[in-house]
């Protein structure tokens, strides 16, 4: 396995392929997020829609989880070039409600070993107010990164 710094062009292609894979996932037709992946980091953003609200008219906790887990996941997978990683555990702390606007989760890898990565993420609103935090462990799977996952060079259509 190559390291990200040994071939910057190949690593950049890996990050763009991860982004396309994410955007091509069927679940993201619902949320319509944006993503940016770099070395050991990832950013996931989406617009809060009323359809994402719980009965008290604020963003449902599952959306907080999705944004935080996705950002941390892709921060971890950014340094795994050959296989899909899997979330093993993920813990979140919900700090404040949000009802509208754009939210952004920023994930970062904090520790890595041969088979397990630890990543954290923060979720913020448009005013940069902290909404939630999360941390998780991720492990290598046996699922190769390839076109069948949407990991490729073709454009994503939503």
155 pLDDT more than 60: no
* Residue 118 near residue 137 (C-beta atoms within 8 A): yes
Question: What pLDDT, on a 0 to 100 scale, did the predictor assign at position 50?
Answer: 97
Q: pLDDT, tens digit, for every residue of 24-51?
A: 999 999 999 999 999 999 999 999 999 9
Q: Considering only CA atoms, give the Rg of the chain.
A: 15
Predicted TM-score (pTM) of this structure:
0.92
Using 50, 70 and 90 to split pLDDT, how confident is the model at 3?
Answer: low
Q: What is the pLDDT of residues 61-113, one digit of tens each?
A: 999 999 999 999 999 999 999 999 999 999 999 999 999 999 999 999 999 99
Task: Please name each of the domains of the chain with its CATH number.
Answer: 8-149 (3.10.129.10)
Residue 1 is predicted with a pLDDT of 40
DSSP for 120-156, written as a single string:
EEEEE-TT--EEEEEEEEEEEEEEE-SGGGT-SSSPP
């Amino acid at each position: 396995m190559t390291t990200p710094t040994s071939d910057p062009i190949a690593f950049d292609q890996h990050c763009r392929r991860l982004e396309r894979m994410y955007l091509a996932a069927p679940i993201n037709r619902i949320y319509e997020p944006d993503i940016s992946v770099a070395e050991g980091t990832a950013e996931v953003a989406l617009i809060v829609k009323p359809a994402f609200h719980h009965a008290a008219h604020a963003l449902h906790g599952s959306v907080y989880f999705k944004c935080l887990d996705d950002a941390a996941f892709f921060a971890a997978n950014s340094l795994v070039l050959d296989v899909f990683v899997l979330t093993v555990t993920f813990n979140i702390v919900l700090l404040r409600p949000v009802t509208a606007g754009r939210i952004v989760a920023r994930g970062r890898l904090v520790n890595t070993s041969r088979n397990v990565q630890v990543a954290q993420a923060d979720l913020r609103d448009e005013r940069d107010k902290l909404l939630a935090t999360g941390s998780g462990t991720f492990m290598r799977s046996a699922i190769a990164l390839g076109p069948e996952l949407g990991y490729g060079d073709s454009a994503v259509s939503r």
